[in-house]
Amino acid sequence: MEKSMISVIIPVYNAAPWLKRCLDSVLGQSYDGPLEVILVDDGSTDGSGALCDAFARSHPEIRVFHTENQGASLSRRLGLEQARGDYVTFVDSDDFVSPGYLSALRDLEETFHAGISACRVLPVQPGETLPEKEAVATALLLEGDPLMRRFFKYEFWGLYGKLYHKALLMNLSFPRATICEDYYVTAQLLHAKGRMAYLAAPLYFYEAHPGSLSRQAVSPRAFEEFENVSGVYAFTAREMTPYKDFAFSNAVETAVKLLLASRRQSRRFRTERMGLKTFLSSHRRDLVTCRPLHWKVAVLALLLSLT
């Protein structure tokens, strides 16, 4: 039986120091079915675009698309529109995967037919290499309440580390706001499918860098995180009512974090801070009644909404 094509979509933005490691890991997969690699150069200014073109010249399975800078979310959407595979996986350009990554996720899909298959995502230190042997773990099917509770407790947020049936992704909304965009898209996915096959073996490796968006000092762009997290709350309150308190708790935690981080620059971020305070003040009753929200965070949110 002929194996399905897998499309690996990699948004690339100023990733020159890590791009070769990423592509070597993707091109070195043990998966013996058809494979294509789609690189979306998101307006890089460090030579990453030229590196993408150089790899494509020597690897016919690679296709490259160059765009103006629009963020990882819309770059993934462009890659998805160009994908020819029946299955899709997303890999960030500064991350890397084990040789058995695609084979393991494809085997999960053949076993459970869940449409979404995931592995453990392991953070690594700069320069850390892969273990010599891949870990052995039990595969299981997560669905319904156990899956959704883990999701809203900060598991499985990322689009990376998963294999998707392409059809599941085609009608989703990909936000322009960059930070936590994965959370916004994955919430839609889990609502639509309600199940996911999972292998706890670490097959996808994430290296945090000081310059990454999620680790930068507060900036106007940092407030995009709340745009996506509050968007998930609105979506959940409308479409997944049993979990709206979990989504609300995450939105409040994000608002509090951003208000505290920007308090010394209150004049510069006056408009952004006012939006966060308006959200908190308009949900004061929910701050008191939301059970998943830690009481200390609730008290802090109430105080911040009044100052």
Ranges 56-70, 195-209, 280-294: which has the least confidence: 195-209
The count of residues in the chain is 307
Asked whether the predicted pLDDT for residue 96 surpasses 50, the reply is yes
Contacting residues for 256 by C-beta, under 8 A, at least 6 apart = 297, 300, 301, 304
The 10s digit of each residue's pLDDT in 13-67 is 999 999 999 999 999 999 999 999 999 999 999 999 999 999 999 999 999 999 9
Q: Report the top-level CATH class of 6-207.
A: alpha beta
φ/ψ of 39, rounded to 5, equals -100, 125
| Cα three-residue angle 122-166-171, rounded to 5 degrees | 110
DSSP per position, 211-246: TSGGGSPP-GGGGHHHHHHHHHHHHHHHH-GGGHHH
Mean pLDDT score of the chain: 92
Of 295 and 73, more confident: 295
If pLDDT is split at 50, 70 and 90, which confidence band does 213 have?
very low
How far apart CA 97 and CA 93 sit, in angstroms, is 11
Of 178 and 20, more confident: 20
Asked whether the predicted pLDDT for residue 191 surpasses 50, the reply is yes
The 10s digit of each residue's pLDDT in 56-92 is 999 999 999 999 998 888 899 999 999 999 999 999 9
The domain ranges of the chain are: 6-207, 217-306
Closest CA relative to residue 196, chosen from 121, 114, 102, 113: 114
If pLDDT is split at 50, 70 and 90, which confidence band does 212 have?
low
3-state secondary structure of 268: coil
Q: Letter for the amino acid at 272?
A: E
| pTM score of the predicted model | 0.90
Closest CA relative to residue 183, chosen from 241, 219, 226: 226
- Taking a C-beta distance cutoff of 8 angstroms, is the pair 301, 289 a contact? no
Q: In which element (H, E) is residue 295 found?
A: helix 295-306
**Which residue is associated with the tokens 């708790």?**
249
The 10s digit of each residue's pLDDT in 114-169 is 999 999 999 988 776 666 666 678 899 999 999 999 999 989 999 999 999 999 99
